[in-house]
Every structure is written in structure tokens, then in C-alpha cells.
Amino acid sequence: MAIVSEILTKLTLSYGGEREPKCPTVVPAYDFNPEADAARLEAAIKTKGVDEQTIIDILTKRSYSQRTQIAFEYEKRAKKDFVSALKGALSGSLEYLILGLMKSTAQYDAFELKSSMKGLGTDEECLIEMVCSRNNEELMEIKKVYREMFKKELEKDVSGDTSGDLSKVLLALVQAKRDEPSNVVDYEKIDNDARALYDAGVKRKGTDVTTWISIFSERSVPHLQKVFERYKRYSPYDIKESIRKEVKGDTEKTFLTLVECLENKHLYFASRLSDAMKSKSVKEKVMTRIIVSRCEVDLMKVRTEFKKKFGKSLYQTISEHTKGDYQRALLNLCGGDD
């Protein structure tokens, strides 16, 4: 019987440990000619009044590795640094977006994290979004690049800029100790974790945040999806309602963001984009950050979720809420209508 119960407990349902497939909207250009691109960009930057359209149409339709080749050819031709030339030629939201494209995805993420903690006040919203939505592989790469770019450890900056439970959750996530998905579904562990979350929160007076943090930051994504389902057997509230009852402020925001990313990361990004365009003045920083950081990763999936959830394509929504050169750049990165 013991063997049978063990087999039942660890019944194999494949949800694979394989790497998430990429679904980019920006892919390497076919028939790529870096010398020709560099010549056109030099002319566009030199021209009176700057030819933004050419700059946008070239750089938003090339992959990061192609952009680095263009920069190399430009510097050979113009005898000046390409990024500095772009800074001098562009301004505002368009400059911010184009300069973002001149970084690799990990460099861009590291830069955004550093910016969110620089100077007076921390941009907790950015910090929470980025740390909660990146997987182990992405976080390991970001930490490595962060160290190279800023000669500091990401963990050190996060702990210096945040405090209390918020700091504890973010640091646990930055450790990138989340289990990778397994082909084995451990029902006993699912049940234990669901009960532990309930016992550490809703069931008792006060919250044992440490237990929550270890389960939320160390278990695999498919495992946690099943834990949240199972949790409803123990608690009168679902996991999100429980979070709202148990913790407040940025810690609440972090746990809720984490649940959204664990349940459906692409829907989370779609909702963030929708919210950024709902406000009176479009939150261009949020728009730029999500679209630039995901366009060579999974923006196609974000587009699909956006259309499903809001009944209108991301492309159309961007068209309605933005204008000018910035709009053109976003639409090119968006990669088409749905």
C-alpha cells in the first residue's frame, strides 16, 4: 500500500522542465546590411531638424545584436560614439525608448532597476514589477550584468533602498532560488503548502510572513498554481483576498503582483500596459519599460492576452493613446495589429 500511495502522491503529469519558448515581436531583419543602416542613420542624425522617422524605422526593426553591429559601423564611419550621437539628436520619451533599445534585455532590466533605486525616493512600483515578473534565468543574468555595469551587487542595493517585509520579499526573489518545473506533481507537498499558507495567515492572529515568503519565492510556478487552487479548500478567501487581509502597503502590492505573475505573467504585463494608458496622462515610462524589455522575449504573448482581456488589440490601444514619433516607435515594437 505504501508504494501505491507514494505513486498516487507523486503522480506524473508532464508540465515539463523545459525552457519557456520565446515569442518576440522584434526579430532579426532579413537581408541585414549594417554598413547601409549606419550610413542612413548618420545622414538622419546630421540632417537639419533630425530625421526621427529613419532612426525609428531602422532601430525598432532590428534585433539587439544587429543594433550593436550598426553602432560599430556607425562609429567607424562617423568617428563618434553612436549612443552619444542618439542622445544629442533625440529627446523626451523617444530618446528614452531608443536608448533602451541600444542595451541588451538584461542590461536594460539592470539599468531600470538601478534607476528605480537612484537618488531620493525609490520607485517601488518599478522594483516590484521587475523583480516579481522575471524568472530564475533572467534574474541570474540581470544580477551578473548589474555587477558588471555598476560594480555593485543588486541584492545590496535592494536591501539598502527598501526595508521591513518588502525588503525581505524582494531579496528572497532576487536570490533566484525558485524550483524549476518538474515532471512530477507532488500532491502531498501541494496540500502541505496550501495548509501552511493558511496556517501562517488567515487562520492565526497576525501573519507569519516568513513562511509566506519562503513558499512564494522557492516553489516552482506550476506547483504554486496548484497550491493556490488547493488553498481554497482551507480558507474562506482565495489567495488574493487573503493577501489583502493580511498585509498592507508595498508588501501587499508585491504579493499580489507575484500571484498575478505566477498565474499568468503575460496577462499581468497586458494589464499593466492597459492601466498605463488609462490614466489621464499616459504613463510613458511604464509603457516604454514593458515594451522595450519584452519585445525580444515574449511581447507576442502579451499582445494575445491583451486582446483576449480587453477586446481590443494592443496596437489599436497604443494608436489611440499616444502620438507622434513616440507612437510610431511603440507601434513598430508592438509588431502589428491583432
What integer pLDDT is reported at residue 279 of this predicted model?
77
Asked whether residue 51 is domain-assigned, the answer is yes
Asked whether residue 229 is domain-assigned, the answer is yes
- Does 217 share its domain with 237? yes
Q: Which three cell numbers stand for residue 314?
A: 494592443
Euclidean distance between CA atoms 122 and 289, whole angstroms: 16
Cα-flanking dihedrals φ and ψ of residue 257, to 5°?
-65, -40
Q: Which three cell numbers stand for residue 68?
A: 550593436
- Does 278 share its domain with 328? yes
Asked whether residue 200 is domain-assigned, the answer is yes
Last residue of a domain, one of 263, 295, 311: 263
What integer pLDDT is reported at residue 19 of this predicted model?
66
Asked whether residue 19 is domain-assigned, the answer is no
For residue 41, what is the domain's CATH number?
A: 1.10.220.10
- Does 193 share its domain with 255? yes
Euclidean distance between CA atoms 193 and 209, whole angstroms: 14
- Does 251 share its domain with 271? no
Q: Could you report how far apart the first and last alpha carbons of the chain are, in Å?
A: 54
Q: 143 and 154 in contact (C-beta within 8 Å)?
A: yes
What integer pLDDT is reported at residue 203 of this predicted model?
77
Asked whether residue 130 is domain-assigned, the answer is yes
- Does 276 share its domain with 295? yes
What integer pLDDT is reported at residue 281 of this predicted model?
84
Asked whether residue 97 is domain-assigned, the answer is no
- Does 249 share its domain with 198? yes
Last residue of a domain, one of 263, 298, 313: 263
The CA distances from residue 76 to 34, 55, 281, in Å, are 11, 18, 41
The CA distances from residue 244 to 133, 211, 239, in Å, are 20, 17, 9
Query: How many separate domains does the chain show?
Result: 4
Phi-psi region of 336 (alpha: psi -120 to 50; beta: other; left: phi over 0): left
Euclidean distance between CA atoms 254 and 132, whole angstroms: 7
- Does 124 share its domain with 162? yes
What integer pLDDT is reported at residue 255 of this predicted model?
97
* Beta bridge partners of residue 12, listed in sequence order: 184
pTM here is 0.92
Q: 27 and 299 in contact (C-beta within 8 Å)?
A: no
What integer pLDDT is reported at residue 303 of this predicted model?
98
> How many CB atoms are located within 10 Å of the residue 139 CB?
21
Map grid coordinates 496540500 to a residue. Answer: 191
The CA distances from residue 70 to 53, 208, 240, 317, 334, in Å, are 17, 53, 47, 31, 22
- Does 269 share its domain with 252? no
- Does 258 share its domain with 280? no
- Does 238 share its domain with 269? no
Euclidean distance between CA atoms 234 and 241, whole angstroms: 13
Last residue of a domain, one of 153, 175, 197: 175
- Does 257 share its domain with 269? no
Euclidean distance between CA atoms 115 and 108, whole angstroms: 10
pLDDT in tens, the chain (338 residues): 444 444 434 443 333 445 678 899 999 999 999 999 999 999 999 998 999 999 999 999 999 999 999 999 999 999 999 999 999 999 999 999 999 999 999 999 999 999 999 876 789 999 999 999 999 999 999 999 999 999 999 999 999 999 999 999 999 999 999 999 999 999 999 999 999 999 998 877 778 999 999 999 999 999 999 999 999 999 999 999 999 999 999 999 999 999 999 999 999 999 999 999 997 788 999 999 999 999 999 999 999 999 999 999 999 999 999 999 999 999 999 999 99
How far does Cα 120 stand from its chain's mean position?
24
Asked whether residue 170 is domain-assigned, the answer is yes
Asked whether residue 14 is domain-assigned, the answer is no
What angle separates helix 209-218 from helix 187-200, to the nearest 10 degrees? 150
Domain that holds residue 58: 34-90
- Does 272 share its domain with 284? yes
What integer pLDDT is reported at residue 8 of this predicted model?
39
The amino acid sitting at 163 is S
